[in-house]
Amino acid sequence: MLLLSTTETITGREITAHVGVVSGNTVRAKHLGRDIAAGLKTLIGGEVGGYTEMLAESRNQAIERMIQAAQELGADAIVGVRFTTSAVAQGMSEMLAFGTAVKLA
């Protein structure tokens, strides 16, 4: 199992080699149902569950793709894991996960 850490180290383990920067991303588009629900929420306030769910799915897919990239490099862990989002086009957002793939002792 590949270890993930938002810090630059893995507690109790020694990093023996940095094998490269790895990333995983996905681009998702909103659909009409989520847009209608989001529009109603702007009137009454509160969490927009459809978008929360979409972002969680996007984050998980980006992590899976980042892990796959690290495994292809023979890594044991990914340190310094970060996430970023950006608008790609009208109604489309990208979720990007990235970090440094490392070998452990």
DSSP per-residue string spanning 39-96: HHHHHH-S--HHHHHHHHHHHHHHHHHHHHHHHHTT-SEEEEEEEEEEEEETTEEEEE
| pLDDT for residue 16 | 98
CATH topology of domain 3-104: Translation Initiation Factor IF3 (3.30.110)
Backbone angles phi and psi of 53, in degrees to 5: -65, -45
The edge-to-edge listing of strands for the beta sheet with 77-89 is 3-4, 77-89, 92-104, 15-29
Q: Which pLDDT tens digits describe the chain residue by residue (105 residues)?
A: 899 999 999 999 999 999 999 999 999 887 655 555 555 656 666 777 777 888 899 999 999 999 999 999 999 999 999 999 998 887 788 999 999 999 999
